[in-house]
Amino acid sequence: QVQLVESGGGSVQAGGSLRLSCTASGVIQNSFLMAWFRQAPGQEREGVAVLYLASGRTEYVGSVEGRFDISRDSGKNVLYLQMNSLKPEDTAMYYCAAKPWYRGTWYTSSDYSFWGQGTQVTVAS
């Protein structure tokens, strides 16, 4: 069983930065991918960024391309999301998730087996 715990959320001014962390326990197989999702009030959960563990390949949703960076410290089993040039529209609850890479698409939340509890990010204008 995999457990995911996010941290690092908070409140920042527009243009600021935050780094989210997701600490994983249990067996994260190399065939997995790990992703960050976000959900604003009244909106659907949206895939933000993904890291394929076997290849190291990353993908981002267009709205964060060039501003966010997903990475992993495999020795510590921690997934990060570095968020720069934050905008008010980035305000949301951010979730870490994991699944086998071959199950569905990376940006479809219903394809994921494992989720963290979320960490709130608020960006003030």
Structure tokens at 46: 């949206």
Rounded CA-CA distance 33/101 in Å is 5
Is residue 103 classed exposed, middle or buried when 0-12, 13-18 and 19+ CB atoms within 10 A define those classes? middle
Do 23 and 7 contact (CB within 8 A), yes or no? yes
pLDDT per position as a tens digit, 20-30: 999 999 888 88
pLDDT per position as a tens digit, 38-62: 999 999 999 999 999 999 999 999 9
The per-residue pLDDT for 103 is: 83
Other beta carbons within 10 angstroms of residue 93's beta carbon come to: 18
The per-residue pLDDT for 109 is: 94
pLDDT per position as a tens digit, 62-113: 999 999 999 999 888 999 999 999 999 999 999 999 998 888 899 999 999 8
Backbone angle region of 85, left / alpha / beta, with phi > 0 → left and psi within -120 to 50 → alpha: left
